[in-house]
Amino acid sequence: MIPDRKYVTGNHGAAEPPKITFASDSDYGNELDRKSISGWEIRYCGVINNVGSRKQVSIAKSSAEAETAAAAEAGRNADMVYELATSMGRKLNPVIDWEYDNFAAGQAAKSKSLTKKSRHVETRELYLADRVRSGKFNPVQVRSEDQKADGHTKILPGESFFRWAHKIGVRFLGREVYDNTEEWWFRQVADGILRELGKI
């Protein structure tokens, strides 16, 4: 979906063209087959446009390799959104911001040459480094707790899930009246049972 800029808060009549940003993340070697899960979120004018979660095709030899593969997957999707929007006549900022939380992956993308340790990274994943070096992608390191793509790579427990959901703009009506997550969840389950019984 490509939202019309006049309907996006803060972009109508703005002096600067709207921007595409994407966040990427991965877990490292899940317990079932050791293949990592890539997750990403793409925003157009600050509005979520595309999210995804996909198991990587091969086993990553390091967390940096898993993060690089996830970023490459997200970057290709961000490029697709950019090309689609510009083909429809939208004028966008030509630089796409990339939010990452893995220092090694960020350094590898910014590096002008591969090191012995990074040569095992597949060619398809070097796409990311090419986009960074050409200036198309602007890498922005964020703290792990601020990573918007985190919830697309794994199941987040209790309070971590609510913090992540709040970060990406999801709101849970009524939760603020309870002291803790467990009490809120219990109330949701109890209300659901009572609804099924026709009591409320």
Q: What is the pLDDT of residues 146-175, one digit of tens each?
A: 899 988 888 888 778 878 888 888 766 555
Residue 30 lies in a domain: yes
Which residue bears the tokens 């309907």? 7
53 close to 38: Cβ distance less than 8 angstroms: yes
Residue 13 lies in a domain: yes
φ, ψ dihedrals at 141, nearest 5°: -80, 135
**Structural domain harbouring 150:** 5-154
Residue 57 lies in a domain: yes
Return the pLDDT at 125. 67
Which CATH number do you get for residue 129?
3.30.420.10
Count the domains in the chain.
Answer: 1
Residue 197 lies in a domain: no
Instruction: Tell me the average pLDDT across 24-28.
Output: 91
Residue 166 lies in a domain: no
Residue 112 CA to residue 163 CA, distance in Å, equals: 37
Residue 4: pLDDT band (50, 70, 90) is very low
Residue 25 lies in a domain: yes
Which residues have a Cβ under 8 Å from the Cβ of 169 and sit 6 or more positions away?
48
Which residues have a Cβ under 8 Å from the Cβ of 81 and sit 6 or more positions away?
2, 20, 42, 44, 49, 50
Which residue bears the tokens 């990339």? 98
Give every strand in the sheet of 20-26, ordered side by side: 47-55, 37-44, 20-26, 96-100, 137-141
37 close to 30: Cβ distance less than 8 angstroms: yes
